[in-house]
Amino acid sequence: MSPGLQRGEDLFQLEEAIWLWTSLLGVPIYDFAFDRFFPCRRPYLRPDEVEVIARVGALEDYAGT
């Protein structure tokens, strides 16, 4: 598990182009395994800031995110 992530979450770079933050929801159609179909990197040392696309389902506190 990467530093700063909760169990079931993942942060990776897809095709060296975009960063994705995912969280397993237990819904097969939504829990897509990107690394089975695309080149993905999970560098241990990441830049201090990255812009990500979040694929984490509904946020409980949307306004506070």
Question: What is the model's pTM?
Answer: 0.73
SS3 at position 34: helix
Reported for 5-9, long-range contacts at CB under 8 A and 24+ positions apart, including other chains, are: 9/56
- What are the pLDDT digits (tens) for 10-59? 999 999 999 999 988 888 888 889 999 999 999 888 888 889 888 877 66
Q: What is the pLDDT of residue 13?
A: 95
Distance (Å, whole) CA 1 – CA 7: 7
Question: Residue 41 is inside which H or E element, if any?
Answer: strand 40-41
Q: What is the pLDDT of residue 27?
A: 83
Instruction: Give Cα 41 to chain centroid, integer Å.
Output: 11
Cα-atom radius of gyration of the chain, to the nearest Å? 12
